A and B are shown apart, each in its own frame.
Chain A
Amino acid sequence: MSPSLDYERAREYTDALEGRLVDALDGDQGVSRRAVLGSLGLAGGAALMGTGGADDGHAGAGGGESHGNFGARGEFDEGFDPHEFLRTFNTGFDGQDNLTQEVFEEDGERVRYFELTAVDTTIEVAPGVEFSAWAYQGQVPGPTLRVTEGDRIRVQFTNGSRHAHTIHPHLKNLDPRMDGIPQNGPGVLEQGESFTYEWKAQPAGVHFYHCHSLPLKAHIHRGLYGSIIVDPDPERVRERPEEYCDFHESQITPELTEELVARAKSRNHEYDENDEVQELVVVMNSFDTNFDGGNEVYAANTRAFAYGVGETDGKGNWAPGETKRPIQVDGQRPVRVYLVNATEFDLINSFHTHSQFFDYYDHGTTLLPTNQTVDTVMQCQAQRGIIELDYSDHEPGLYMFHAHQSEFAELGWMSFFEVV
């Protein structure tokens, strides 16, 4: 299992914040500790940029100055943990417990083997709001598969859902039978059927896999999608550096080649250089909970406002919640976000960082940025890319990031990094 955020620490932090607030008010007009603690959950101020909602009963009507607070009420139940999902990569060597995976050599090739099952399930997309999903391995997004360029990806797919499904990979795939569409190869797989897909891991980058059964909109929007990350192979980069940047072969200097190889090592999970980077997977998705063709929930990794703060007074006093809390990052180490857009029904989605600019690698297929020093990128559906952030010169604290479609932000795609 990859590291997830420490619940204990979140709780301690909440206690510390509450304690600080109580101390600050101690002896002041005889405010009782209980009253202060009770009102900490009360949403105050017209804090558009302060997410989090009041707990039950705290945001009383006619509550004096209260303008209320945007954000979803309450916390999520147990189950899928978007914080754990962020940092969970299934490499065949290592990954999540409920995914059968292994790595072995076969005919001189390295095979990364995974067993994926599609099931009908129910997921929580906003606190208390359930959505009947169709999901690979019972989770939305599906497991993140991570391999090295040139490997063979073997996915034994079993359909345990009442509906017919496939897996279609966004990879350069030379065998039409493996495209995962109804018209080719095994076609759609009915309930109980299995098929083993095999794909060559190419090109390097961050990719998308999804069900390609009809109606396509329904099968994607219900949750049948995930990411495949293909790490660049530094040896191959050294041999063909021109394939990993915009420069022509004739323009490649030995220095540039070394630079590209170094970048490849930083991107490849099998190299020590990669350990230095804090890598995160963010799948932008959305849910039409009432099936009217428009989304009620937008999210980064399924749960609305999951990377927001638990409680805020809109005046800078905030506390992490049990399930809704910022993504903690170490400010002294680089942050890399593998960003995938799985939003259905909307033409585009976007990623915007506050107080920060980043380098962007469209589709992640190059080792030099395709967009340099930007604070907003947009992606159409199935588009993806890699974002590289550096917070080393920022003060510790909360830094927001969100879709800069303000509608999406207020409907759940609103998040924070907590730089420590």
Chain B
Amino acid sequence: MTGYEQLAKKLVQSAKKKGAKQAEAFIEIGRQSSCRVREGEIEDLTQATSKGVGLRVITKDHRLGFAYTSDFEPSSLDGFVNRALQLAQAAAPNKLNGLPTGKELGKLGETGDLYDPEVANLAGDWKIKAALEIEKAGKAVDPRITTFDNVGAGDYVSEVYVASSEGMTAGYSGTYVYLFGSPVASENGQLQTSYWVDYKRFLADLDSPEAVGREAARRAVRMLGAKRAKTQQVPVLFDPLVAASFVNNIASTADGNAIYKNSSIFVSKLGKRLAPETVTVVDDGLLKRGLGTAPFDGEGVATRRTALLDKGVLRNYLYDSFTARKAKAKTTGNASRGYNSLPHIGTNNLYLEPGTRTPEELVREVKNGFYVTSMLGSGANPVTGEYSRGANGLWIENGELAHAVQEVTVAGNLLQMLQDLDGIGNDLQFRGSSGAPTLRFKQLTISGD
């Protein structure tokens, strides 16, 4: 048992001794460094260590208190435990308050490795070189790439520990490494930007800096000459980056708490067909080498694979233990948190399963339509299903990408959009912990000229 596991356990015991019925400590330790470059020189180097602990207590009269701190001095931690207990007195008693029980915590699944020693020991100059390569490769793509708004690389090593009075003490370590670039393309007084990023647990899985630089540049350059489109209803494609944000909108709609509170368009839709058979949306906490993979969630519950939409049919909502108890359902291991927040429902690795069609085929079948490559605004309202966002991308004419489009909006309704999903690409990709292939919707409203 590491020192931090012991500390977590000690805090739980201390809270129990001071009168808590249940207690849970969540500790996060992080070490990170990053580098950004500009015009062939280092722009900045950042290095940091951080730590924090959150303590959740439940009193005998069913009240919930929560406190967090980054101060690990023993004298300070003592007051910290008292504070969590005293804060509970300001909250209302609720019989449903409680930590996941031994049974709910479950047997931890097989995650495979989450920690890459190569990332943990990455030399500082690797990041500098990688960032310079991204910039160089991006500029080499096209003379119209005039500069970069942002380009860099970084790594992160984290440790997470949970101890609970219900019989849980566990921890794990993980690594991340990432590359990013957002170049600026310029022509005839018009400036356009885009970005590309890769984010992996293992160095061996990471795209090369050249690939990241080239893709970022390609995406910026193809936006040059962008103009508005006419207001109309047409078939719309989302590229995988944009499609992943749509899949995230679906997950917020399947949030068990929103469902319980009658605040989602997915209420009473369990078991119903909401999308074509080609559509399967999965949250998988055990996905091999996934960025969101972890043995347990934010309250120690074993993570698992949960299909939200299975062949178009709504099969599951996402739950943490509290909401599951409220809804008389079972936790799905989707409690998400940092040390400084109470658990809330979130996703692990969320994705829409790929189809069999190439993105080119999906474009070729469209006579007049819009291929969206980036979006502005927050997106969808899970309560009403309304979807309206600013969009940039490429216009499709007779099955070909014709010219760039900007300053338009796309609008629809989430339920209708799911039904209208008439094309699923074979190009699933993750840029972070959510992923999607190219998606095609039969019809959305474009607003422009």
A binds B: no
A residues with CB within 8 A of B: none
